[in-house]
Structure 1
Amino acid sequence: MSSSTATTAPPATTPTTITSPSPSSSSQQPKPKTKLKLKIRRAVAPADVAATTALINAAFRADDTTDVYLGAEHERISLATEESVLGSMTATDIAVFVGVVSKAAAVDYEGEELEHKEEEEEEIVGHFWLQKKSDTLAWLALLAVSVKGQGQGWGSQLVAHAEQVARDEWKAQRLEFDVVNTRSTLRRWYEKRGFVPTGRAKPFAYELHPDWEGVLRADLEFLYYGKDL
C-alpha cells in the first residue's frame, strides 16, 4: 500500500484480514440480550490512533486457535503500531473507518436499558480501511472487531459500510481483499457475504517480520477474495 504523504503507510505485505470478526472456536464471550448497532465514522481524531492500534492488536492476539499461531498457548504478537495506523489515516489514497458505541453500552452485556446521556464517551470497537486501487477497484484491509463485541453482528455492519463507501462514494465496481489461507472459518464468513476466491495468492511476508519466526505457522499465504459491487 503506497502513500504520497511523508508519513509511511502500512506496507503492501502487512496482513490485512488476519483478524476475525467472528467468535473464536474455543472461547465465547457472553452474548447480550439486545444487539447494539455501530456508529461508523472516519478515523481522523488524534485519539483514534492509540485506540485503533490497541483494538487491532487485541483482536489478533485473541485468536486462540492454531489457524495462524503454532499453538493455542503460544506467544502472541502485535500486528499494528501507532505509526502504521497513523500512516493509514494520513495517506491520501486510504480511508480509515472505526465503529464506535458509547462506553456505557459497550460494557452492558446483560442487555439492560441504559439512561441516555447527551454526550456519552465513545469506545472504538471496530475498524477497517479502504484503499482506492483504481477507478473501478477498492481494497479492504484490517477488518477487526473488539473481542468482547463478537457475536453482535458488528463485522457484518463494517463490511456493509465498506461496500457502500466503495460503491456509492468511490464509484468502484469491485471490492477485494486478502485473507490468510488457514483461516477457514473466517473465509467461510466472507463467502456467506458474497465474496469469492479469485484464484490468486501471494506469499506471507515472513522475511519482513523476523520476530514472528517460531510464533506463526510456516505454511501461511494470502488468498485473494473479491465481490462485484
Structure 2
Amino acid sequence: MAASDDIYIRPCVPADAVHVPQVCKMIYAAYRSEASWTTEAHIVSGERISEENLREFIEDNHQPDILLFAFQRSTDLSVPDRVVGTIQLEPKPDHDEALIGLLSVDPTFQSKGIGSKLVRTALEYSKKDLKLSKGVIWVLRNRDDILKWYTRMGFVDSGSTQPFPWPELLKQKDMHFKVLKKIL
C-alpha cells in the first residue's frame, strides 16, 4: 500500500523542536517497543535518542547532518500536523556517499509505505541537493527482515561491517552492523 497523500516529508527546521517530546516517544516505540515490526528491544536496551540530543540536533543549523520528518497533514486547521516518521542523512563527501540513520515510523503508521517514502526522499535529497552518488545504511547483522526490506529497495550488501558503537547497551553479544549500499 502506498503512502497516502496526507503524508509529506521535509527537512527539519529549528521551529520543529516543538515536536521533540512526541518524536522521541515515536522513535522509542519504533525501536524499542513490541508494537513495531522493526523493534530492536530483544537486541538493544536503552533509549535510541534522548530529548536533549534530538533538540540539539534540530536547533543546530551549522551541522552537516540533515534530519527529515514525515508529517501527517491535519484535517483540522486548529490541530498541527503530526510527525509520523524520521530519517537522518550524514553526508560523507570524502566517500561520495550519505549514511542513512534514525529511520523510524510510528508503529500505528507502519506498513503503509511511509518508511519507503522516507528512504526514497532521503536518497533523492542526497543525490540532488548533496551531490552524492551512494546511499549507505548499517543494519544489525541478525535482522533478516530489515535486511530483506532494504534489499527490495535496491541496497546491496557491501561485504563490510561496522561495530556497534555502544556495546554496553547490547543484550546480544558480538553484534555488529552489515553495511549496505545503493548507487543513486
TM-score, length basis structure 2:
0.84
**Structure 1 residues 223 and 87: CA distance shift in structure 2, 3 A:** farther
Question: Structure 1 runs of 4+ off > 6 angstroms?
Answer: none
Q: Alpha-carbon deviations, 1:7-26, whole Å to 9, x = none?
A: xxxxxxxxxxxxxxxxxxxx
Structure 2 residue aligned with 1:28 = none
Q: Does 1 or 2 have the higher relative contact order (CA < 8 Å, sep 6+)?
A: 1
Cα distance in structure 2, aligned partners of 1:80 and 1:98: 15
Q: Does 1:97 align with 2:68?
A: yes
TM-aligned CA deviation for residue 53 of structure 1 = 1.6
Pick from 109, 122, 130 the counterpart of residue 162 of structure 1.
Answer: 122
1:96-115 equivalent positions in 2, closer than 5 A:
96-103=67-74
SS of 2:30 mapped into structure 1: helix
Give yes or no for contact 2:11–2:66 (8 Å, CA) kept in 1: yes
The gaps in structure 2 that reach 5 residues or longer are: none
TM-aligned CA deviation for residue 78 of structure 1 = 1.6
Pairs aligned (count): 176
Higher helix share: 2
1:1-229 equivalent positions in 2, closer than 5 A:
36-37=4-5, 38-44=7-13, 45=15, 46-63=17-34, 68-70=40-42, 77-89=46-58, 90=60, 92-103=63-74, 116-118=75-77, 120-134=79-93, 136-207=96-167, 210=168, 212=169, 216-229=171-184
SS of 2:180 mapped into structure 1: strand
Give yes or no for contact 1:40–1:97 (8 Å, CA) kept in 2: yes
Q: Alpha-carbon deviations, 1:52-107, whole Å to 9, x = none?
A: 22211111122478x84448xxx96321101221333225111111101035xxxx
TM-score, length basis structure 1:
0.68
The gaps in structure 1 that reach 5 residues or longer are: 1-32, 104-115
Cα distance in structure 2, aligned partners of 1:56 and 1:224: 22
Bigger radius of gyration, 1 or 2? 1
Percent of aligned positions with the same letter in both sequences? Answer: 24
C-alpha root-mean-square deviation of aligned residues, in Å?
2.6
Structure 2 residue aligned with 1:110 = none
